[in-house]
Amino acid sequence: MSGVALFYDCNDATVRAAALASAVHCVTSGQLVVLPTDTVYGIGADAFDSAAVADLLKAKGRGRDMPVPVLVGSWHTIEGLVSVVSPRTWSLVEAFWPGGLTLVVEQAPSLAWDLGDARGTVAVRMPLHPVAIELLETTGPMAVSSANRHGQPPALTALEAQQQLGDDVAIYLDGGPVQTGVASTIVDVTGEVPRVLRAGAIGIDDLRRVVPDISG
């Protein structure tokens, strides 16, 4: 994209409403936004805007072989994104959303989006951060990946994200340093038995208290 990126301090109550309104406008007009989450900072785009998602991958220097996850602003958004929400999936959602758990689910065939070579699945998470949730409640599902160039460490502050991504992003929403700095745990719930694909913010023991037969 062209132009100079805007940087908003969302910890300032007088700035936050205008910052979020500006971010919503950018997302709906196909531009990229950096937002805080509870794990690491993310670079996001409208999940249903294929050109914007392609720009996101380009900004990161990443290929289509690494499809972009989707963040949602409420539990029930997942119902519109998947074919079937199994009882086990609901149990994990109720226990760990919002929070550091990403669920890989079979996407609904009707969805008109292109997140990369996802082979009919999508990774979905609801982040535990007020700025992220406020944004997602307005924009709807966003394609969001960690806010860094491919191969570089994930950004733990908005400034670190800006140093890596520069003016490829329209707006930076600064929500302060992230709380954990640990990436989300990824669990594949598309098979008979849920399977941990990546260890992260939610430990296997915590997962097994909810779904005892989950494989790690």
The per-residue pLDDT for 1 is: 46
- Phi/psi at 196 (5° precision): -75, 120
Alpha helices, H only, the chain? 13-28, 50-60, 87-96, 130-139, 158-165, 204-210
Q: Structurally, what CATH architecture does the domain formed by 6-184 represent?
A: Alpha-Beta Complex (3.90)
Burial class (CB in 10 A: 0-12, 13-18, 19+), 13: exposed
Per-10-residue mean pLDDT of the chain, 216 residues long, equals 84 95 98 97 97 97 92 94 92 97 95 90 96 97 96 95 97 93 94 95 96 93
Q: How far apart are CA 98 and CA 206, in angstroms?
A: 15
Q: Which of 37, 20, 42 is nearest to 144 (CA)?
A: 42
* Sign of the CA dihedral running 194, 46, 52, 156: negative
State the pTM of this model: 0.95
User: Strands, DSSP E only, in 75-147?
Assistant: 101-106, 121-125, 142-146
Which tokens is 171 given? 């707006």
Residues 9 and 159 sit within 8 Å (Cβ to Cβ)? no
Which pLDDT belongs to residue 83?
84
Q: Please report, for the chain, how many H helices and E strands are present, in that order.
A: 6, 10
| Cβ(138)–Cβ(14) below 8 Å | no
- Domain boundaries of the chain, sorted by first residue: 6-184
